[in-house]
Amino acid sequence: MTRDERTEIEAEVTRLIHRYTWANDAQDWELCASLFTEDALFRRPSGGEPVVGRAAILEGFRSRPPRAQRHVVANVLVEVEGPATARARSVIVLYMGDAAADGGLPVQDAKSPLIGTFTDLVVLTPHGWRFAERIGALDFRP
């Protein structure tokens, strides 16, 4: 694999992580779920049992109560394993709160921010790079 090919994969995987973050903040659950493979495994940073399969991941997103949220992703590190496989790690900071009834700025939740990590297995599919595994964990207790 050439240096340019490796650099391109790193950029595409980083873009996937950022695309997921923006879709999550927009609560575009269909787009979030479409970024996973059909048989992907997903575990939210807040814990719980891993969810397996894109359909179950979508249902998990849809079952969340609405909230105001903003994720900040940092320290993305992509390790290319081959032309169709990479692993990535990133730090996630979540600010959350309740939407203001008057449409103004939301009120930040007392548990906010939450700080965690995602560890990803990413694969190249006919539809582009997708998460085969996305495992989240909190780094600090709220």
- What gap in Å lies between CA 24 and CA 19, rounded to an integer? 8
pTM of the model: 0.94
Residue 95, domain CATH? 3.10.450.50
Task: Provide the H-helix boundaries in 1-139.
Answer: 3-25, 29-34, 54-62
Provide the pLDDT confidence category of residue 94 given band limits of 50, 70 and 90: very high
- What gap in Å lies between CA 28 and CA 19, rounded to an integer? 11
Residue 79: how many other CB atoms lie within 10 Å: 13
Q: To the nearest 5 percent, what fractions of the chain are helix, strand and coil? A: 25, 45, 30
pLDDT in tens, 43-53: 999 888 999 99
Number of domains in the chain: 1
Q: Which range, of 60-64, 68-72, 73-77, 98-102, averages the lowest pLDDT?
A: 98-102
As a whole number, mean pLDDT of residues 88-110 equals: 90
What residue numbers bound the domain in which 70 lies? 3-138
